[in-house]
Amino acid sequence: MSNTEVRSETSQPTVVRGVDMKLEVVVIPVADVDRAKSFYASLGWRLDGDYTAGNDWRVIQFTPPGSGCSVIFGKNVTSAAAGSARGLYLIVSDITAAREELVARGVRVSEVFHAGQEQTGNDEPYLFGRRRVRGRDPERRTYRTYASFSDPDGNGWLLQEVTNRLPGRIDKDGATFVSSGELEAALRRASEAHGEHEKLTGQHDEGWPSWYAEYMVREQTGEPLPT
């Protein structure tokens, strides 16, 4: 959703919804189209199409599981140098499970890492800098734990664990779970939080289904979590 803030000298700012602009395709540059097709198929991504026009043009589209955005690559679809795409983020709710699945599929994936105190170093950059410290973020903060891998051309992908969204990132009426695994992970986090809730109240909560539902929606939409 796109919002535009409108001000006047006599009134408070109002927010006007702009035209929806949905990011649906990212182009990645590859040198060997068939090799790239084989690699992305091995990830378990959905092949949406493989289109050609004679010998001069070919485009292939894949979509990661649960993603509203696809990637395309091919012949004469971009002038960028093969392997030059960096910082392609794949958001996951359980980075350990996501990494283990990729490893099982034969993908060479980095160890899970988080940011150090200094945002410098010789490592490939990511959202919070360059310095990579092995293991999960010690405070288990959302957005702060990663793993990385590359395709055969060197295009760089990052797994980023997101469990609690930034406020406003998702509308309250738009909270969804796109897979059984994502729903299961959300239920587990809600169960752990609800256990703490019952410790605070000192009694069993008969209304736990409503509490779970509220927790899971607020987690996705970035609202304050119930306690």
pLDDT tens digits for 43-102? 999 999 999 999 999 999 999 998 889 999 999 999 999 999 999 999 998 999 999 999
Look at residue 35 and tell me whether its pLDDT is greater than 70: yes
The pLDDT, as a whole number, for residue 208 is: 85
Q: Are strands 57-63 and 70-75 parallel, antiparallel or unpaired?
A: antiparallel
Look at residue 29 and tell me whether its pLDDT is greater than 50: yes
Instruction: Give the model's confidence band at 16: pLDDT under 50 very low, under 70 low, under 90 confident, else very high.
Output: low
Return the CA Rg of the chain: 21
CA distance from start to end of the chain: 29
The H or E element that residue 131 is part of is none
215 DSSP 8-state letter: H
**Could you tell me the pTM of the whole model?**
0.70
Q: Do residues 98 and 106 make contact, with C-beta atoms less than 8 angstroms apart? A: no
**Domains of the chain with CATH codes:** 22-81 (3.10.180.10), 86-163 (no CATH), 180-221 (no CATH)
Q: Do residues 41 and 33 make contact, with C-beta atoms less than 8 angstroms apart? A: no
Alpha-helical regions (H) of the chain: 33-42, 95-104, 180-201, 208-221
pLDDT tens digits for 153-196? 999 999 999 988 777 666 556 567 666 777 787 788 788 888 88
The pLDDT, as a whole number, for residue 169 is: 62
Give residue 54's identity as a one-letter amino acid code: G
The pLDDT, as a whole number, for residue 2 is: 43
pLDDT tens digits for 97-154? 999 999 999 999 999 999 887 777 778 888 888 889 999 999 989 899 999 999 999 9
Instruction: Give the model's confidence band at 1: pLDDT under 50 very low, under 70 low, under 90 confident, else very high.
Output: very low
Instruction: Give the model's confidence band at 11: pLDDT under 50 very low, under 70 low, under 90 confident, else very high.
Output: low
Local structure of 83: helix, strand or coil: coil
Token pair, residue 196, equals 């703490």
Short-list 143, 119, 114, 146, CA closest to 130: 119
